[in-house]
Amino acid sequence: MSDHKKPDGDRLPPGRKNLRVAVANPLHEESYQLILEREPRVTLLFDPSLLPPARHQADFSGDPGFRRTPEQQRRFEALLDSADALLGIPDVDPAALARTVQSNPRLKWVHTTSAGGGQQVGKAGLSPSHFQRVTFTTSAGVHGSPLSEFVVLGVLCGAKDLPRLLRQKGRRQWGERWMSRQISRQKVLILGFGGIGRAVARSLSALGMSVTATSRHADAKHLDVDRFVSIDELDDVVGEMDVIVSALPGTDLTRRIVGERLLARVKRGVTFVNVGRGSVVDEPALIAALEDGRIGFAALDVFEVEPLPAASPLWGMPNVLISPHTAALAVDEEAAVVELFADNATRLLDGHELVNVVDTVEFY
């Protein structure tokens, strides 16, 4: 086991002057060093032989074929049970998280390496007393920039009719002239205004689009948003929109918000982009809207069932761009995650509020 140590600092928990962090997901060596450089009061506990090999940067799940021996599993659990905090959910498995929280009374904080880690926390079935003792945070916001770029791609493909261009190219057909849509004259509705939604608003506002976003707060203001609406007002505004972007988390409240009722009210030929969660969309209703032209183009990074089954009609639709839940991946993602973790570690050690705390009612 590697035990990276730096000089002691402030107290956490009482009687300690550093923060013992068990690394529960695979990281690259430069990430360990980055954490220690940004927060020297952290002691990292990890054993590379107990973690699945990372196949690439930010591969926090690691090789799916990795298996521990019973003795290695005991060592791994002992390491987790000796920590004040976890970097990552063990094996990205809610059951393993539940075991650790229940077995380690000193555990105070768990940081998930994904933006949607709140869903995994919710699936762990923890008790109210566990949530009083342990704070959970996510890596929300880290993926905002690459996801907003995917949204821009989807908006461009829809406005400039990429399917038509590809179809004519495949036929070696010059075709007649036609009028494409001008992005700077379009209106976009962003569903969800967390870290991803804010990044999307910045990108689309910079392109000259009129931005409407959902917010629970009627008086919400943001430089890149022209107006905010509540979820209850969607039926009244969706028909004005040229583009709809979903950046919503997957919760009971957001399940299938983009369904028959909403899609019955959209402007014909609207572009739809989903970079939130697949559960937000009623896929049969989406497919019907794509077939009859209510949705002219869709760029989808997430789906209700993943991997998307080969039998799904979405695969064969020329007006659908499919990304296999990879639009958030970027070469610097791992560095961004560990920097966020290190900054939160500093906040914890100094007695300040953490960022990206999981809502333990709706788990996002």
- Catalytic, 306? Answer yes
All residues at 6 or more sequence positions from 134 whose CB lies less than 8 Å from its CB, including other chains: 101, 107, 108, 109, 110, 126
Q: Which two tokens stand for residue 234?
A: 């969607």
Distances, alpha carbon 159 to alpha carbons 1, 152, 179, 201, 318, in Å: 54, 10, 10, 17, 15
| Counts of helices then strands in the chain (DSSP H, E) | 12, 13
All residues at 6 or more sequence positions from 239 whose CB lies less than 8 Å from its CB, including other chains: 265, 266, 267
Catalytic residue among 164, 255, 325, 347: 325
Distances, alpha carbon 179 to alpha carbons 154, 160, 161, 164, in Å: 18, 9, 10, 12
Strands 109-111 and 320-322: unpaired
Residues in the chain: 364
Q: What is the enclosing helix (H) or strand (E) of 320?
A: strand 320-322
Nearest alpha-carbon partner for 155 in 110, 209, 223, 106 = 209
Strands 295-300 and 320-322: parallel
Question: SS3 helix, strand, coil % of the chain, rounded to 5?
Answer: 40, 15, 45
Report the alpha-carbon angle 230-283-289, nearest 5: 80
- Catalytic, 74? Answer no
Work out the widest C-alpha separation in the chain, in whole angstroms: 77
Query: Is 2 in contact with 341 (CB distance < 8 Å)?
Result: no
Catalytic residue among 167, 268, 306, 352: 306
280-296 in b/e form (b: 16+ CB < 10 A) is: bbbbebbbebbeeebbb
Catalytic residue among 198, 277, 294, 333: 277
Distances, alpha carbon 324 to alpha carbons 141, 286, 306, 327, 338, in Å: 20, 18, 8, 8, 24
Q: Which residues are catalytic?
A: 277, 306, 325
